[in-house]
């Protein structure tokens, strides 16, 4: 029952009110939500990189640029492409060259790989199940469509930017759309030039290289850890030096640009085909401490392993697996004459603590603003550069007559604060049984007056 004083609302009154004041606010009505697209059919189901792929479904966008096709490999990597044609029910896309890096590699060759698809059209569709995921072929003539690298990667003379021309890559059977055809982390151009270097062909070398074997191979996915030239640096380690530095101590501002193969007389700053990549080899430094640390062979010049690319005062080989690694001191000095410092006492950062194991291109491992050579890893007051090398006669020099030896400074170790002296970082109570069997003092003598400022110029001095 209506209240007696309530106004009477008639349909005519409502119509007049709408005409005068307008309809209710738009947000009073439920908003339309974007519909997820759905892939229903893919053709062909066997396709080469560079060929056209047709995707049928629903709720795509009619404008090409509003759609993105996502390709996903078994390794979880993805590639993206815009369609060439688009309707709300059909997309036509050319499989981009970037899909090549999603293909499975076996024996350095790309193998046919099932690739999942999804479409972004306002919202993401689900990834296609196996029955709707096409098998994609790479290059090499075993695909169903007959596409060739020359047809797919003909933009410019070096499509993938690996410093090898497209024509040369086709001749070598490497992939002109991929900088790293075998997926080992080393670019094709670097491996090709290193192979030329190890065979010492000065110009227009025969390809592939029929000389010294083995050689760095851009189609061998297993050789990144090989050291072809025997300088103590592996293929991928010298590649990083070449990629990141234009000269020792000079970081690149961009990628290397010289075309491979290099012109006669040119050299890569670091090559896994030459122990001394530069000609002439760099002269050893003249200051006593740097000379003592870097010129391990004592021949007055520096090999690639002895050089110091990141200019932190420590040699390349030393930083990767040599004397600036904790493990070296345990392995190189006969046990029980040397014992690794107890692991529970502290973690002394070295190459093993870097995710990429690339200390030779990182000048400051702990990021404290002090270069590694000038830093003090074991906090005993002596810089790493000073402690990294013991003289050959260190036993007689530092241990005979211990602790009143002629030169206890020779008893260095950059990862042990008890050597050469019993510093304040040394453990006051060594772990029970830790030094059992050591036939020489495990801990240096008390620090001399003025420590560490009274150290000699070199440990052998």
Least Cα distance to 105 among 233, 243, 224 occurs for 224
Is 108 a residue whose pLDDT tops 70? no
Q: Could you tell me the strand order of the sheet in which 85-86 lies? A: 38-43, 52-58, 90-94, 85-86
In this predicted structure, the answer to whether residue 49 has a pLDDT above a threshold of 60 is yes
User: What torsion, rounded to 10 degrees, do the Cα atoms 295, 296, 297, 299 define?
Assistant: 20
- Residue 397's pLDDT is what? 83
Report pLDDT for 148: 54
Highest mean pLDDT among 34-38, 47-51, 177-181: 34-38
> Average pLDDT of 38-42?
96
Secondary-structure percent of the chain, ordered helix, strand, coil, rounded to 5: 20, 15, 65
Strands, sheet with 116-121, edge to edge from the N-terminal-most edge strand: 78-81, 68-72, 116-121, 123-124
- The predicted model gives 184-206 an average pLDDT of 87
Is the pLDDT at 301 greater than 50? The verdict is yes
**Residue 461 pLDDT class (50, 70, 90 cuts):** low
204-231: string of b/e by CB count within 10 Å (b at 16+)? ebeebbeeeeebbbbbbbebbebebbeb
The predicted structure's pLDDT at residue 246:
97
Owner of token pair 């697209």: 37
Q: Cβ neighbours of residue 387 under 8 Å, at least 6 residues apart?
A: 378, 412, 413, 414, 419, 420, 459
What phi and psi values does residue 13 have, to the nearest 5 degrees? -65, -40
Mean pLDDT value of segment 104-113: 78
pLDDT tens string 81-97: 999 999 999 999 988 87
pLDDT band per the 50, 70, 90 thresholds, residue 131: very high
Backbone torsions φ then ψ of 262, nearest 5 degrees: -70, 155
pLDDT band at 23 (very low <50, low <70, confident <90, very high): very low
Domains annotated on the chain, with CATH: 38-139 (2.60.40.10), 148-276 (no CATH), 280-461 (no CATH)
Q: For residues 234, 235, 241 and 243, what is the CA-based torsion angle, rounded to 10 degrees?
A: -160
More confident residue, 453 or 195: 195
Q: What's the distance, CA 147 to chain centroid?
A: 32
The residue among 178 and 372 whose pLDDT is bigger is: 372
Per-residue pLDDT for 73 more than 90? yes
**Contact present, 390 and 432 (Cβ < 8 Å):** no
Could you tell me which residues are beta bridge partners of residue 85? 92
Q: Cα dist. 412→298, 301, 331, 394 in Å? A: 20, 25, 16, 9
Q: What is the mean pLDDT of the chain?
A: 84
Interval 158-180 mean pLDDT: 86
Q: How much is the average pLDDT of 426-449?
A: 77
Output the pLDDT for position 117: 98
Q: Is 36:50 a contact under the CB 8 Å cutoff?
A: no
Angle between helices 235-244 and 188-199 (to 10 degrees): 110
pLDDT-wise least confident of 30-34, 211-215, 226-230? 30-34
Record the pTM: 0.72
Q: Give the tens place of pLDDT for each residue, 350-370.
A: 999 998 999 999 999 999 999
Q: How confident is the model at residue 343 (pLDDT cuts 50, 70, 90)?
A: low
∠ at Cα 322 (321, 326), nearest 5°? 80
Compute φ and ψ for 374, nearest 5 degrees: -85, -15
**Closest C-alpha to 151, from 48, 237, 283, 78:** 48
Q: Angle 250-320-412 (CA atoms, 0-180°, nearest 5)?
A: 105
Please give the biggest Cα pair distance in the chain. 119
Instruction: Specify whether the CB–CB gap between 309 and 249 falls below 8 A.
Output: yes
Averaged pLDDT, 19-47: 70
Comparing CA positions, the residue from 92, 93, 91, 60 lying closest to residue 79 is 93
Residue 13 pLDDT greater than 50, yes or no: no
- For 334, the token pair is 């006969």
Strands 38-43 and 52-58: antiparallel
**Of residues 8 and 384, which shows the higher confidence score?**
384
Q: Which residue is listed with tokens 């306002």?
A: 122
Residue 39 in tokens: 């892939």
Per-residue tokens: 355 = 């995710």
Q: Is the pLDDT of residue 256 over 60?
A: yes
Residue 19's pLDDT is what?
Answer: 39
Ranking 138-147, 393-402, 438-447 by mean pLDDT, the lowest is: 138-147
State whether residue 191 is helix, strand or coil.
Answer: helix
pLDDT score recorded for residue 31: 53
């Amino acid at each position: 029952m209506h209240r007696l004083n309530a106004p009477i609302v008639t349909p005519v009154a409502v119509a007049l009110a709408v005409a005068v004041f307008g309809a209710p606010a738009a947000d009073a009505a439920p908003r339309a939500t974007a519909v997820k697209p759905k892939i229903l059919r893919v053709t062909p189901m066997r396709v080469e990189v560079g060929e056209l792929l047709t995707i049928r479904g629903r709720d795509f966008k009619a404008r090409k640029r509003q759609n993105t096709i996502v390709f996903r490999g078994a390794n979880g990597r993805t590639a993206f492409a815009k369609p060439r044609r688009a309707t709300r029910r059909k997309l036509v896309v050319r499989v981009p060259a970037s899909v090549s890096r999603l293909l499975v590699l076996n024996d350095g060759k790309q193998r046919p790989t099932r690739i999942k698809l999804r479409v972004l059209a306002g919202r993401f569709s689900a990834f296609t199940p196996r029955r709707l995921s096409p098998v994609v072929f790479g290059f090499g003539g075993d695909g169903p469509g007959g596409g060739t690298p020359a047809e797919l990667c003909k933009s410019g003379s070096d499509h993938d930017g690996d410093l090898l021309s497209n024509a040369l890559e086709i001749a070598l059977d490497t992939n002109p759309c991929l900088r790293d055809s075998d997926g080992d982390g080393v670019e094709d151009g670097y491996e090709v030039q290193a192979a030329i270097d190890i065979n010492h062909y000065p110009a227009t070398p025969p390809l592939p290289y029929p000389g010294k074997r083995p050689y760095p191979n851009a189609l061998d996915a297993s050789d990144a850890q090989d050291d072809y030239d025997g300088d103590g640096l592996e293929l991928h380690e010298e590649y990083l030096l070449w990629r990141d530095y234009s000269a020792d101590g000079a970081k690149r501002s961009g990628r290397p640009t010289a075309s491979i193969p290099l012109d006669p007389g040119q050299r890569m700053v670091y090559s896994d085909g030459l122990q001394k990549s530069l000609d002439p080899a760099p002269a050893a430094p003249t200051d006593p401490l740097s000379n003592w640390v870097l010129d391990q062979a004592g021949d007055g010049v520096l090999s690639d392993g002895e050089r110091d690319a990141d200019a932190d005062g420590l040699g390349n080989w030393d930083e990767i697996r040599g004397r600036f690694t904790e493990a070296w001191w345990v392995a190189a000095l006969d046990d029980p004459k040397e014992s690794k410092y107890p692991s529970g006492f502290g973690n002394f950062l070295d190459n093993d603590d870097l995710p990429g194991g690339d200390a030779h291109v990182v000048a400051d491992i702990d990021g404290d603003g002090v270069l590694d050579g000038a830093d003090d890893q074991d906090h005993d007051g002596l810089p790493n550069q000073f402690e990294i090398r013991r003289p050959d006669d260190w036993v007689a020099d530092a241990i005979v007559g211990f602790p009143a030896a002629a030169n206890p400074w020779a008893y260095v170790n950059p990862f042990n604060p008890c050597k050469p002296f019993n510093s304040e970082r040394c453990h006051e109570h060594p772990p029970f049984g830790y030094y059992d069997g050591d036939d020489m003092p495990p801990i240096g003598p008390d620090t001399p007056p003025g420590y560490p400022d009274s150290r000699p110029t070199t440990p052998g001095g």
